């Protein structure tokens, strides 16, 4: 059974500092991995999608890496801003049409 873990559960940084969020999964046989952002009381916003054959994806200040063999993904957010404060969730999928297995999330607070 796939298990996804996100450490730390919460993170507080001053504005401008780079954020590093970790995601680990127990079964390396994944189809893809997705990072999401969730604001309080809202749905999930897709940030980055990494296919199993890819090593990283970038979008603006966000960069996500994937090391499938070691079961790890890292989300980097450069030059953090107060607006980056949210919960970040990673999720993996075993096959194209399968369900997502989520980590517990990392709550991020960026202090002005």
Partner 1 sequence: GAVVSQHPSRVICKSGTSVKIECRSLDFQATTMFWYRQFPKKSLMLMATSNEGSKATYEQGVEKDKFLINHASLTLSTLTVTSAHPEDSSFYICSAYVPQDRGNTEAFFGQGTRLTVV
Q: What distance lies between CA 63 and its chain's CA centroid?
A: 10
Region from 16-24, 28-36, 61-69, 78-86 binding partner 1, contact rule CB under 8 A: 28-36
Nearer to partner 1, 6 or 80 (CB): 6
Q: What's the rounded Cα separation, in Å, for the pair 99 and 103?
A: 13
Binding segment for partner 1 (CB under 8 A), chosen from 17-25, 61-69, 71-79, 85-93, is 85-93
Q: Which is nearer to partner 1, 15 or 52 (CB)?
A: 52
Cβ neighbours of residue 95 closer than 8 Å, sequence gap 6 or more: 31
DSSP state of 16: T
Q: Using CB under 8 A, which of 18, 45, 70, 81 touches partner 1? A: 45
Candidates 21, 32, 68, 88: give the one binding partner 1 (CB under 8 A): 32
Give the Å distances, CA to CA, from 56 to 32, 40, 79, 81, 103. Answer: 11, 28, 19, 22, 19
Does residue 86 bind partner 1 (CB under 8 A)? Answer: no
Q: Which residues pair with 32 in a beta bridge?
A: 51, 93
Q: How far is the CB of 104 from partner 1 (least distance, A)?
A: 5
> Are 48 and 35 spatial neighbours (Cβ–Cβ below 8 Å)?
yes
Residues lying near partner 1 in the complex (CB under 8 A): 31-32, 34, 36, 41-46, 49, 51, 89, 91, 93, 96-97, 99-100, 102-105, 107
């Amino acid at each position: 059974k796939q298990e996804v873990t996100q450490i730390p559960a919460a993170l507080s940084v001053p504005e401008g500092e780079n954020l590093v969020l970790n995601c680990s999964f127990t079964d390396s046989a994944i189809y893809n991995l997705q990072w999401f952002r969730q604001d309080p009381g809202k749905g999930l916003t897709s940030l980055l999608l990494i296919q199993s054959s890819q090593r990283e994806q970038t979008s603006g200040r966000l960069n996500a890496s994937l090391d499938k063999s070691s079961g790890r993904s890292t989300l980097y957010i450069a030059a953090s801003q107060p607006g980056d404060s949210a919960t970040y969730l990673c999720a993996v999928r075993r096959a194209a049409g399968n369900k997502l297995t989520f980590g517990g999330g990392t709550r991020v607070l960026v202090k002005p």
